[in-house]
Structure 1
């Protein structure tokens, strides 16, 4: 899975730490999400999307291999 988290953070002038504090996780979690090394819970995905006033589907890009 790929994400647009880094792109959205830049648009909103947020650091990884800023976003982490806003959604209640550690900065490392945001880093892992941006690298595609961690799949968020549905609750976390919604929190992040809500923070950026967008949808989960816009923020997280699912690839065919994610469903196999």
Structure 2
């Protein structure tokens, strides 16, 4: 069983979080409006952007669709 708490991103340099943040800004979303769009808290968006949270596949798809991109473009190598 996995320990409770956030799941950290696999990329320690923050590249994934940077891609998410840049895509969010390019799409015209604030952290709050992005959170509302994908039905999570603003803290979840902050955690994704800081690399402190790796979302479920379902949430990753919702985020990518809301940003007009693909999961691979945001979380891929």
Which TM-score band applies after superposition, normalised by the shorter structure?
Answer: 0.7 to 0.9
TM-score, normalization: structure 2? 0.74
Deviation, 1:60, is 1.3
Structure 1: gaps (5+ residues):
63-68
Pairing of 1:9-24 with structure 2 (within 5 A)? 9-24=24-39
TM-score, normalization: structure 1? 0.83
Structure 2: gaps (5+ residues):
1-8, 10-15
Q: How many residues align?
A: 62
RMSD (Å), alpha carbons: 1.2
Specify which structure has the higher proportion of helix: 1
Specify which structure has the higher proportion of strand: 1
Runs of 4+ residues over 3 Å off in structure 1: none
